[in-house]
Amino acid sequence: MHSEAMKSQAAANLGLIERAFADRSAPSAMTDSVQLSDAEYAEVMSFRGLRWQDVTFEHVQQYSDAVFWFSPTAFCYYLPGLLAPGLREMRWPLLSADEIEAVASWVRWLETVEPTRHPDPPQVAGRREGSAREDALTTSMQMARTAGKITAID
């Protein structure tokens, strides 16, 4: 059973994700790969028309390889949809302390990347530059720390 503190932290992290990615537009292209098998293409397309807010844990489990073939804009759009179901449903993979530190290190590295260096800039409207990224980084760091405290999969 999950503690109330863990549920509260999950809800807070979910709120951060929802605010940080609220203005991101759905991708126009789901993949930029031309070498996908029919099965791989079907996995990617299973997300088409699905709002990131509506992605379920079961969908992520069933089509988990789709993330590898998303276009850059599809990856950015669906990233919160890959993170949020674990918070909503309190289900996480078991991560070791070293794995959590590796994820946290990657998130810290993201903080140093300049958005203008990417060929596919974020599609957000009405946001102060950097605010969504800062919220997302904070969320990722908190999620990585929270994941280390979860000791079982429901």
**Which amino acid makes up residue 33?**
S
pTM for the complete prediction? 0.70
Query: What is the pLDDT, as a whole number, of residue 119?
Result: 54
**Which amino acid makes up residue 24?**
R
User: Pick the residue with more confidence: 113 or 37?
Assistant: 37
CB of 154 closer than 8 Å to CB of 91: yes
Span 102-116, average pLDDT? 82
Q: Is a pLDDT exceeding 80 seen at residue 18? A: yes
Dist CA 150 CA 62 (whole Å): 22
Dist CA 81 CA 21 (whole Å): 10
What is the pLDDT confidence band of residue 35, given thresholds at 50, 70 and 90? very high
Query: What is the pLDDT, as a whole number, of residue 131?
Result: 47
CB of 29 closer than 8 Å to CB of 119: no
User: Pick the residue with more confidence: 1 or 84?
Assistant: 84
Mean pLDDT score across all residues of the chain: 80
User: Pick the residue with more confidence: 126 or 33?
Assistant: 33
Query: What is the pLDDT, as a whole number, of residue 113?
Result: 81
Query: Could you tell me which of 131, 28, 41, 42 has the C-alpha nearest to residue 76?
Result: 28
Q: Is a pLDDT exceeding 80 seen at residue 101? A: yes
Tell me what percent of the residues of the chain surpass a pLDDT of 70. Answer: 72
